[in-house]
Chains A and B, each alone.
Chain A
Amino acid sequence: EAGVAQSPRYKIIEKRQSVAFWCNPISGHATLYWYQQILGQGPKLLIQFQNNGVVDDSQLPKDRFSAERLKGVDSTLKIQPAKLEDSAVYLCASSLSILGSGANVLTFGAGSRLTVL
């Protein structure tokens, strides 16, 4: 099966500019996640969708970050305006999951590396 697709792979922007990342999950996967991975750290969950509804966005900096998952398939993560500390790899993952189960495997995309100058 095709994996999780992400684009762009690399993006360099100036601070205060905006950027958007796109993710296409594995076909049929109901749950989609965006993680932020800062250099030298483990991935941190930003937002989790179940179909097209948000189930967890507690760590999303909502003053500058937004995400949507239209029609329960593709998702877009936007940052506006970007700050220096937003430099990171943004990982998208999906899982064929049932809420309340927990026993599901996340499949990750290759990530989008953002550098904010």
Chain B
Amino acid sequence: AQSVTQPDIHITVSEGASLELRCNYSYGATPYLFWYVQSPGQGLQLLLKYFSGDTLVQGIKGFEAEFKRSQSSFNLRKPSVHWSDAAEYFCAVGAPGGYNKLIFGAGTRLAVHP
């Protein structure tokens, strides 16, 4: 069965610092991979996705993520964090050929210090 692990429950960074949020997945083949962001009281907004091809994908708001098959990882990165990036971030996996449902990780809550 598919599963997603986000090892870090909370992360705090200073504004302007770089950021990396970790995501590991369990799936027998190459899944479809997603990162969503959720601000307080809001639904989930798609940051980026990986379906195939280039393993480094660019998303909105200056985020990028790299798919590493050997490590079953899809870590999210941003070179310089802004205070408005404070939110909860969810990694999700979808199964190719399946019914398009997504399995989500437990999320990482990001705090940004001024």
A positions within 8 Å CB-CB of B = 4, 31, 33, 35, 40-45, 48, 50, 55-56, 91, 93, 95, 97, 99-111
- Please name the residue on chain A nearest to B31 by beta carbon: A102
- A103 to B92 Cα, complex, angstroms: 13
7 inter-chain pairs at a CB distance below 8 angstroms, sorted by A residue, are A41-B106, A41-B107, A42-B104, A42-B105, A95-B100, A108-B36, A110-B42
Q: Within 8 Å of chain A (Cβ to Cβ): is B90?
A: yes
- Please name the residue on chain B nearest to A3 by beta carbon: B43
Given that A55-B99, A91-B44 are contacting pairs, would A102 and B94 also be in contact in the complex, using a CB cutoff of 8 Å?
yes
Which 8 residue pairs across A and B have the least CB separation, nearest first? Answer: A42-B104, A108-B43, A102-B96, A108-B44, A110-B43, A97-B100, A103-B51, A42-B106
CB distance from A60 to the nearest CB of B (A): 13
B positions within 8 Å CB-CB of A = 4, 6, 32, 34, 36, 41-46, 49, 51, 90, 92, 94-107
Given that A4-B43, A42-B90, A44-B104 are contacting pairs, would A103 and B96 also be in contact in the complex, using a CB cutoff of 8 Å?
yes
CB distance from B93 to the nearest CB of A (A): 10
Q: Which among B92, B97, B104 is the interface contact of A100 at CB below 8 angstroms? A: B97
Given contacts A31-B100, A33-B101, A42-B4, 13 further A-B contacts (CB under 8 A): A40-B106, A42-B106, A42-B107, A43-B90, A45-B103, A56-B101, A91-B43, A93-B44, A102-B100, A103-B51, A103-B94, A108-B44, A111-B42
CB distance from A88 to the nearest CB of B (A): 14
* Residue contact A48 to B46, C-beta cutoff 8 Å: no
* Residue contact B99 to A106, C-beta cutoff 8 Å: no
Q: CB-CB < 8 A to B94: which residues of A?
A: 102-104
Q: Which among B92, B97, B107 is the interface contact of A102 at CB below 8 angstroms? A: B97
CB distance from A72 to the nearest CB of B (A): 16
- A42 to B92 Cα, complex, angstroms: 9
- A85 to B51 Cα, complex, angstroms: 36
